[in-house]
Structure 1
Amino acid sequence: MTPARLAPALALLFAPLACSDNAPAEDTAGTGETAGTAETGSGDALYNANIRRTSHGVAHVTADDWGSLMFGQAYAFTEDKGCLLADQLVKVRSERSRWFGPGEDNANLYSDFAYLHLHVYALAEEQFPQLSPLVKEGVMGYAAGYNQALADGKIGGSCDGQDWVPTQIDHIDLLAYYIDLGLLASGRQLISAIGSAQPPAGDAPPDPAPHYSTISAHRGKLGSNGWAFGSDVTASGGGMVMGNPHFPWEGELQLWESHLRIPDEFEVYGVGLLGVPGVLIGFNDSVAWTHTVSDGQRLTVYEITSPPGESTKYDYDGEVRDMESEPFTIDVLQDDGTLGSETRTMWRTHHGPMLALDPFYWTNALALSYRDANIDNFMLVEQFLRMNMATSLDEFQQVHMDVAGIPWVNTMAASADGRAWYMDSTPTPNLSQAAIDAWYTRSESGFTKALADQDVWLLDGSDSRDEWRDDPGARSPGLIAPANLPQLERTDFVFNANDSYWLSNPLAPLTGYSPLHGFADDARSMRTRMNAQTLLDIAGGGGFAGADGKLDLDELTEAALSNGGYTAELLRDELVDRCTGVGVWELDGLLVDIAEACDLLAAWDTKLNLDSVGAIVWREWVGDFEDVAFEDAGTLFATGFDIEAPLDTPNTLADGDRALDALAAAVLRLDEAGIPLDASLGEVQFTRKGDETIPVHGGGRAEGITNLMIYSQLRSDLEPEVPRAEELWEPTSLSADGYQINYGTSFIMCMEFNDEGPEGRALLSYSQSAEPDSGWYRDQTEMFSQKQWRPMLWHEADIVADPNLIEYDVAGGEGQG
């Protein structure tokens, strides 16, 4: 798409906020009466779109205007996974208790009160009129698309016909949900802590004790790898991108794939968060991009000091302030099927809501409040739509400066002209150096240290020194302005694997930024080190770059799923040297034969492929060490972290008996699980799709593999969890059935710009549809298992040539003009 073709869209985006002639009105109901494969809706429809489904269910949506384009995208999405969006809208409406009762440990009650206390609907109603016309048109069209699909009986998932499913939604519902999505790496992790926070009656928490949250629940879970290459290292001379978000395979954080087009005006391909217009990770004909969750801070916690016996007052700069209070009432489904109600008064300081945070509670001795950098981020949709529209890397970069709506991710991008760029543009609290220095002092001991060890910043809520400071040019007061955020442009590569910005390219370290972006002088994760080694080898003309020293698409796909384990590369040979000839080892009074385990490790290729034998022995061995052991010298490594060699340290197996103790423990655990030591990874690592068990390659964090595969729950939906056997060892997710996977590599994309334009290959590991009887329910999961990449169909000739092409028109939104 040329800049001239984009001009009408940009004019619309930046037009005055008064509605344009063709902008939809506030009513977004879709009232089409009939459904069919050819057309839905009526001749009076405001929105009209064409949907083409190619192999694996990828939706290619074409329309003549933004409202219709997002109408079509929403319709196709709702067909595949609409129940998950319905669930989330019930959540942000604070109606879970109304439909499902108080929930286990009052979880629904706390969720409902928390979302009321966060005022997500009031914020959405306040901010929607301030959004650009393009965004308003798109969001309203999206709501109408959901409504029409539901009216046509086409909602994907297990909720069809259930009373709780919203039969009509509007733009305010969606914007409230987008505010909630923006809180994913901050307030959303605290929902139960917000909803259960009540003033103390004494030194103990209320009786019965509430269902508490932990502020660090998401730390170490949210993750991804992102690589962007410039012309120095690519065979085509254009940019290349590898996107590999590590996200849940269950719940509302699944990604969904689409290709969107307004002829002669706009075109983009990629995946998005469920229920959100546009594309989150993907490409157009000028720029490709991906994201990884930032290591920075999206919130700060404040320790509140109250006068004795006055728990709803607090000290601030030598004065006593009253906390703000607000009563809320919700409907609650009773055991007998009737509706009751419950009213609670919720409390906040000027920093933000009060918390009942595990294990610290709200007592007379300790009270906590917090401030969130994303609670006033209403620009998420505009941010991504304008990224989708960018016609050059310069324009793409400018979006990050002008809109500043990225909520919690780093961005890696490459352009058709061979430039690669990294930025952590996430909203970050702007603390003074005095406040930072005071935190460093406080974090050396006591309660502040306890939270600092969980990577949480606890500040003094009674001292204005610890307030966020205004920075000219920031999106909101108290945030660091985009011009002062970490970024780097290169012609070789940039990358991120969830550590801080520091070594986005190890040849050009980024320094001098606030520690609230993450630290720039600490050990990198094993996965970061694996990523860095792979990319430095490519940039040096070796590794996966092949004989010509230049990376092509075949080589990039091979690198993306090469499944090497960095910890094994460092330590496997030394462990084998240590265990060879030992035979029997005594552990806690038990004699354990470790000879077979040692022999299997010696023969293992250090990969985590389906046919890898020895991989599970290594997993259980390395999984016996605590997390801190990977950061410095100690029980695992003899040589500690060295800031002068951050990608090479720590290294060398530590002396002592701990290594063989861990090997014996690994043998015992696998024996307890009934798993032979010589089982291949594919025999014991799997995911469940309906009645099928599908083997899965990849590994865990301790193994230092780019293709992360674990069991973890990061979800807020109420869909049933996939059944799983009892877990025997949490660090490796070992269960009586082996290693069941539901989290990790989700959408994986490898693409390049060449003379023909963008070309790429991808896999959506959990597949496109939530309908078990759909052919798109497990097809890509089986392909992922076998590393069978599929093309991303961008060019029209490839789309029409697809042997499984299905085409239909959709329409709706009658009466909204």
Structure 2
Amino acid sequence: MRRRGRLAPLALSLLLFACEPGTDDTVLQGPSPSAVRLEASGGYSATVRRTSHGIPHVLANDYAGLGYGYGYAFAQDNVCALAEILVTVNAERSRYFGPEGTYVATLGGDIPNLKSDFFYQSIKDAGTVESLLALTPPRGPSEEVRQLVRGYAAGFNRYLRETGVDALPDPRCRGAEWVRPITELDLYRRYYQLSLLASSTAFLNALVDARPPGPLTLPLPLPDVLPAGAIPRGADLGLGSNAIALGHEGTRNGRGMLLGNPHFPWEGSERFYQVHLTLPGQLDVSGASLLGVPVVLIGHNANVAWSHTVSTGFRFTPYELKLVPGSPTTYLYNGQLETMTPRTSTVLARTADGTLEPRSHTFYWTRFGPMFHYPEGFMTWNSLTGYAFRDVNATNLRVVDQFLAMGKAHGVDELKQAQDYWQGIPWVNTLAADDQGRAYYADSATVPHVTDAKVARCVLSPVSLLVYQSARLPVLDGSRPDCEWGTDADAVQPGMFGPGRMPRLTRTDYVTNSNDSYWLSNPEEPLTGYDGIIGDEGTARTLRTRLGLKMVQGRLAGTDGMEGRNFTLEQLQTVMFNNRNHSGELLRDAAVAMCRRNPFILLEDGRWVDVREACPVLERWNLRGDLDSAGAVLWRQFIARVTVVTGGPYLVPFLATDPVNTPRTLNTLHPQVVQALGGAVQVMRDRGQPLDTALGTVQRVPRNDARIPYHGCGEVEGCFNQFSNWLQPDFTYVPFVATSFVMAVSFTDAGPVGRSVLAYSQSTNPASPYFADQTWMYSRKDWVDMRFTEADIASDPNLSVTVLQE
């Protein structure tokens, strides 16, 4: 039976009050609220109920009002963050922050402001977003999304107008000239930026660096293989996630259950914000969205919960062009000569004396897309060859509609139908569970239609073969029409695989994903037979993937030390934060024995290291990444060195017939493995750190005057609760891409029960009470109740209610 929430009388009266003509806006605080007057005008109405930790529950009677309330609430917490994002997508960073400045992109590394501006200005000059907005659904936005976005902009602007730029509570942008009212087009440019995150923006520098070469510019000499990470993918910076979806065979109460654990940046434009959106009779969804997005991206409604993990599929392919000698902007296609089209973009840049001067850059466009120059991947524009970049998400503005439709689904079947219709997920897998006890996995993200057969006939040159053999990225022959992307009949746009060609699995026990490919979502039913551009099959899984599978299998079998079999919600929460270090579980005992056999180790630089003190430290280590885990820091140094051992550190190799348990067994006779222990001990001593340093003493995130310790550990360590950290000059770590919005949801006879924690907290404003509160909760492994029903919201001890009307 499907259950729909009912509005409590208090909420209904507030909504009606909000819609009365001429009613002043009101703020109500606490269980016995008092009224505070706000200025009223005319046009939108919404009620924003904030519960503990600043989580807004937005209630409205139309989509415009829903966006209005969300935009207003979001601006209260993150006005500076969104304002800076919009400076970026409007190609104004050089104008306001100087052309020489940089910012950190999630996948693109350090991006110079001027290069960023040239890239985004080229999108503006082409009218790309405007053209996509002119399309009809499903290729263009629905009327519902248009209303949401219109309302969101109005709500954000309402806050800005009331507060005033000079009086903003966040000192980082108070009085800044770059903070201004926003437009709907600003927001759509932001959503387009998100679609390109794992494709064009990951190669932003290479796209701007492309310029016609001199007459005698030769290709680079080719190595045997590309260095690791030469072709950026999500896993290269830890951008990823874990998710577990449980069906009725995997839960104690026989209904569905879901754990979502996205690993996303703690700073910058890809942070999450928690929200609950209610439009009675149409939408009631709770979860989190990325900054500026007016819909829930990871969350639950009354019937289904879902999360995402970054997919292994490529969203782009380069095309290798055969150039005409002496004319590097002319290339051969189908036996004919074609000339590239130059497109010049001009931006304003602030000079040292504060004046603005124009700066220009010319991009060269081919039939496939713009040229790019990428020496790291040996795809350079030289006198003989050049490389064009084709992005499957270059025509994807469907992302907001995609997630709005998923938020309305009444189960995994309707969620799947929503994905099949919009096909707007740009670069993530989906895992979902519903109240009927079904667990669902899908890699339904956009992927270029490049079959294995096409790869066999179109990846032939030395560079193309090098890139494909090293990174599995097809670099296609740009001179042949038969090497153009294909199209499936069920694809929403040309050039991509349709949903019928993508991996999917529905189970009644479980599915998982931790950023490896679709292959082992459930080892009992491997997914096989898909094209290689989507992901690999029959290959070794990461330690994190293996640990996630083992934790689920151990719980279902009742062999993990917890009570009973199958999951309760509390046990799912425990699994999330048990902080097991799987590399330690597999290798620690052998490393301790090796330590005792080799009390003095000769390093490659000729130094002898006494490691005797390390042996009992590693032996006593609790094999976890908890705050008090003494020895975890020493192990981190050791395992980082072990993973790069020539030929690998394992005695038992990977076996496709036993993928969860192999490879395993440390090769303690390998000289580099022995040296890894000596190097780990030496670096700890060089830093002045005791070998038994506890993790919580070095993993600390600054929040104003506090340094908050955080638990979890890194990808190479094999931790499910994964953190990619930046090592600081004082040899402490701060998180970069890491556990962010954690959500555990169980469906019960009474409806969904959800718990969450937003590890970096709701607000980016250091003056906000929501700047560090959940960060402290995360440090203590505490959770927030995701208040979903009207009764839950009304009973929150910190409830405040704002009734907005314009």
What's the TM-score, normalizing by structure 1? Answer: 0.88
Q: Within the alignment, does 1:623 sit opposite 2:633 as a pair?
A: no
Shift of 1:4: 9.8
Tell me if the contact between 1:214 and 1:357 (Cα under 8 Å) persists in the aligned partners: no
Query: Any idea what SS the aligned residue of 1:49 has?
Result: strand
Which residue does the alignment assign to 2:436? 417
Shift of 1:113: 1.5
Cα distance per residue 1:619-663 (max 9 Å; x no partner): 110011345x5xxx9241122222222222211112322222100
1:135 to 116, 138, 145: 145
Work out the number of aligned pairs and report it.
Answer: 754
Q: Within the alignment, does 1:772 sit opposite 2:777 as a pair?
A: no
Which residue does the alignment assign to 1:47? 44
Alignment of 1:157-306 (within 5 A): 157-203=170-216, 215-216=231-232, 218-221=234-237, 222-306=239-323
Which residue does the alignment assign to 1:760? 754
Cα distance per residue 1:709-738 (max 9 Å; x no partner): 1225xxxxxxxxxxx733xxxxxxxxx332
Tell me if the contact between 1:373 and 1:427 (Cα under 8 Å) persists in the aligned partners: yes
Partner AA of 2:66 in structure 1: L
Partner AA of 2:144 in structure 1: L
Shift of 1:785: 0.8
Q: Distance in 1 between matches of 2:349 and 2:318?
A: 31
Shift of 1:772: 1.5
Which residue does the alignment assign to 1:679? 693
Partner AA of 1:491 in structure 2: T
Shift of 1:195: 2.2
Q: Within the alignment, does 1:494 sit opposite 2:511 as a pair?
A: yes
Cα distance per residue 1:658-717 (max 9 Å; x no partner): 2221000001111121111011111122111122111111111111010011225xxxxx
Cα 1:204–1:669 change in 2 (3 A) is farther
Q: Distance in 2 between matches of 1:3 and 1:100?
A: 51
2:728 to 709, 725, 747: 725
Which residue does the alignment assign to 1:556? 572
1:152 to 137, 148, 162: 162
Q: Which runs of 4+ in 1 moved over 6 A?
A: 1-6, 32-37
Query: Any idea what SS the aligned residue of 2:393 has?
Result: coil
Partner AA of 2:753 in structure 1: E
Q: Distance in 1 between matches of 2:36 and 2:528?
A: 56
Q: Within the alignment, does 1:644 sit opposite 2:657 as a pair?
A: yes
Tell me if the contact between 1:675 and 1:738 (Cα under 8 Å) persists in the aligned partners: no
Q: Distance in 1 between matches of 2:37 and 2:509?
A: 49
Q: Distance in 2 between matches of 1:215 and 1:635?
A: 22
Q: Distance in 2 between matches of 1:667 and 1:4?
A: 59
Which residue does the alignment assign to 2:108? none
Shift of 1:266: 2.0
Q: Distance in 2 between matches of 1:357 and 1:166?
A: 35
Alignment of 1:5-404 (within 5 A): 43-104=40-101, 107-119=112-124, 122-129=127-134, 130=136, 131-153=141-163, 157-203=170-216, 215-216=231-232, 218-221=234-237, 222-359=239-376, 360=378, 361-404=380-423
Shift of 1:165: 2.7
Query: Any idea what SS the aligned residue of 1:146 has?
Result: helix
Partner AA of 1:83 in structure 2: C
Q: Distance in 2 between matches of 1:120 and 1:279?
A: 31
Cα 1:39–1:494 change in 2 (3 A) is farther
Cα distance per residue 1:197-241 (max 9 Å; x no partner): 221235569xxxxxxx97516442211001100000111211100
Moved more, 176-185 or 389-398: 389-398
Shift of 1:166: 4.3
Cα distance per residue 1:344-363 (max 9 Å; x no partner): 32211111111122444433
Q: Distance in 1 between matches of 2:580 and 2:307?
A: 22
Cα 1:39–1:187 change in 2 (3 A) is farther
Q: Within the alignment, does 1:536 sit opposite 2:553 as a pair?
A: yes
Cα 1:448–1:79 change in 2 (3 A) is farther
Alignment of 1:436-585 (within 5 A): 436-438=455-457, 446=463, 448-450=465-467, 452-543=469-560, 546-585=562-601
Q: Distance in 2 between matches of 1:74 and 1:350?
A: 39
Moved more, 164-173 or 79-88: 164-173
Q: Distance in 2 between matches of 1:39 and 1:192?
A: 50
Tell me if the contact between 1:120 and 1:180 (Cα under 8 Å) persists in the aligned partners: no
Shift of 1:158: 4.0
Q: Distance in 1 between matches of 2:463 and 2:343?
A: 33
Moved more, 639-648 or 604-613: 639-648
Q: Distance in 2 between matches of 1:343 and 1:581?
A: 64
Cα 1:705–1:337 change in 2 (3 A) is same
Q: Distance in 1 between matches of 2:375 and 2:540?
A: 28
Shift of 1:466: 2.1
Which residue does the alignment assign to 1:796? 790
Shift of 1:408: 0.6
Cα 1:769–1:104 change in 2 (3 A) is closer
Shift of 1:584: 1.8
Partner AA of 2:383 in structure 1: N
Q: Within the alignment, does 1:811 sit opposite 2:805 as a pair?
A: yes
Query: Any idea what SS the aligned residue of 1:228 has?
Result: strand
Shift of 1:607: 1.0
What's the TM-score, normalizing by structure 2? Answer: 0.89
Tell me if the contact between 1:128 and 1:136 (Cα under 8 Å) persists in the aligned partners: no
Q: Distance in 2 between matches of 1:775 and 1:739?
A: 24
Query: Any idea what SS the aligned residue of 2:249 has?
Result: coil
Unmatched 5+ stretches in structure 2: 7-22, 29-34, 103-110, 219-228
Query: Any idea what SS the aligned residue of 1:220 has?
Result: helix
RMSD: 2.5
Tell me if the contact between 2:459 and 2:474 (Cα under 8 Å) persists in the aligned partners: no
Query: Any idea what SS the aligned residue of 2:347 has?
Result: strand
Moved more, 145-154 or 48-57: 145-154
Query: Any idea what SS the aligned residue of 2:608 has?
Result: strand
Tell me if the contact between 1:241 and 1:289 (Cα under 8 Å) persists in the aligned partners: yes
Q: Distance in 1 between matches of 2:563 and 2:261?
A: 26
Shift of 1:508: 0.3
Q: Distance in 2 between matches of 1:346 and 1:674?
A: 51
Q: Distance in 1 between matches of 2:66 and 2:169?
A: 20
Partner AA of 2:770 in structure 1: W
Which residue does the alignment assign to 1:703? 717
Which residue does the alignment assign to 2:107? none
Moved more, 339-348 or 451-460: 451-460
Shift of 1:613: 1.2
Q: Distance in 1 between matches of 2:500 and 2:207?
A: 33
Partner AA of 2:148 in structure 1: G
Which residue does the alignment assign to 1:21? none
Cα 1:457–1:626 change in 2 (3 A) is farther
